[in-house]
């Protein structure tokens, strides 16, 4: 598998195994199949796993990864996990961050994380902007969260830190330009630029590839997330969701993409992954796979290489 530069962490695989699939967020799986998927990903050359305490019931993704890595140690595989700080009125950020980190390390059976991400929206700095709950102010992010992340890196409990670069774009862009800036950012990158339920602000969602470009220009390594738009860019949604759910609405909107994939001789999921791998500045693409069959489809797509200029043009014409 191709490797790409990931800044402070060096080179990592072009594909990252995400925790949403193995945590049964994106459809049903079981512990045995999820564990086998972790082993198959490592055998395929994947060198990063992207996890979070919130992925699955009772922290399932972290538990699966910990079990898999205890059964077949792979010290060369890097681990990302996350912390959520949804109520900044609660304060005590440093203690909350450390509690989350140490709980993740216990579940994983590791002494440090390679990458630790803030998994909470940054609040708009503009007081007049829409401001949904469950996000964190710029002042608390910059004055307390960043300070604690830097301290954890200095202590060796994490090797790098970053943000989930989703939410109000002006504040996200400020974070990518500011210093100290994140080592890495997770950015929505998909063929139709679908943001789905990750866009709580009105009216118009950001052009996510502009955010990816800003990150790359400022030396912030980019992990592409929501590559199949929560399943909307696949052949069929494989979990029950209401007809008015953003992913269901996006699935309907994506019918021309599925037709184009058929014309190109690709499955929709394979084409979606090849698209994200072709976007300039993307260092790694996070997979939402929940079993070995889905993993194999993505690994084969990566091996086929980037899309041609004509294929990219055809995809972007669908937006």
Element (H, E) at 297: helix 292-303
pTM of the model: 0.95
**Max Cα–Cα distance, the chain, nearest Å:** 54
Please spell the DSSP secondary structure of 210-264, one letter per residue: HHHHHHHHTT-EEEEE-TTGGGTTSSS--S---TTSHHHHHHHHTHHHHHHHHHT
Enumerate long-range contacts of 291-294, CB under 8 Å, 24 or more apart.
Answer: 291/21, 291/29, 291/33, 291/34, 291/37, 292/33, 292/36, 292/37, 292/40, 294/21, 294/269
Residues 190-232 pLDDT 10s: 999 998 888 777 666 777 888 999 999 999 999 999 999 999 9
**CATH class of segment(s) 3-316:** alpha beta
Residue 131: pLDDT band (50, 70, 90) is confident
Q: What is the mean pLDDT of the chain?
A: 94
pLDDT given at position 14? 98
Give the C-alpha separation, 105 to 63, whole Å. 10
Of 272 and 88, more confident: 272
Cβ-contact 187, 211 below 8 angstroms: yes
Residues 7-19 pLDDT 10s: 999 999 999 999 9
């Amino acid at each position: 598998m191709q490797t790409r530069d990931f800044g402070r962490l060096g080179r990592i695989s072009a594909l990252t195994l995400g925790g949403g699939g193995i945590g049964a967020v994106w459809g049903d799986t079981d512990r045995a199949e999820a564990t086998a998927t972790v082993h198959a990903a490592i055998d395929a050359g994947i060198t990063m796993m992207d996890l979070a305490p919130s992925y699955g019931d009772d922290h399932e993704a972290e538990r699966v990864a910990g079990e898999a890595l205890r059964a077949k140690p792979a010290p060369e595989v890097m681990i990302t996990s996350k912390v959520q700080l949804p109520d900044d009125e609660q304060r005590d950020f440093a203690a909350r961050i450390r509690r989350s980190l140490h709980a993740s390390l216990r579940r994983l059976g590791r002494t440090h994380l390679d990458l630790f991400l803030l998994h909470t929206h940054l609040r708009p700095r503009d007081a007049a902007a829409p401001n949904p709950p469950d996000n964190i102010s710029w002042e608390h992010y910059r004055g307390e969260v960043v300070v604690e992340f830097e301290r954890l890196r200095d202590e060796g409990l994490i090797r790098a830190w970053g943000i989930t670069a989703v939410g109000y774009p002006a504040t996200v862009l400020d974070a990518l330009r500011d210093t100290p800036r994140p080592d890495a950012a997770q950015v929505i990158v998909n063929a139709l630029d679908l943001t789905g339920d990750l866009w709580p602000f009105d009216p118009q969602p950001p052009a996510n590839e502009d955010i990816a470009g800003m990150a790359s220009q400022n030396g912030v390594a980019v992990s592409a997330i929501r590559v199949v738009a929560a399943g909307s860019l696949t052949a069929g949604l494989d979990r029950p969701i209401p007809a008015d759910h953003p992913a269901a609405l996006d699935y309907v909107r994506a019918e021309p993409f599925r037709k184009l994939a058929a014309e190109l001789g690709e499955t929709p999921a394979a084409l979606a992954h090849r698209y994200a791998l072709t976007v300039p500045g993307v260092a790694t693409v996070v997979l939402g796979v929940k079993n070995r069959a889905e993993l194999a489809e993505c690994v084969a797509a990566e091996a086929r290489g980037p899309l041609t200029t004509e294929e990219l043009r055809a995809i972007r014409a669908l937006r």
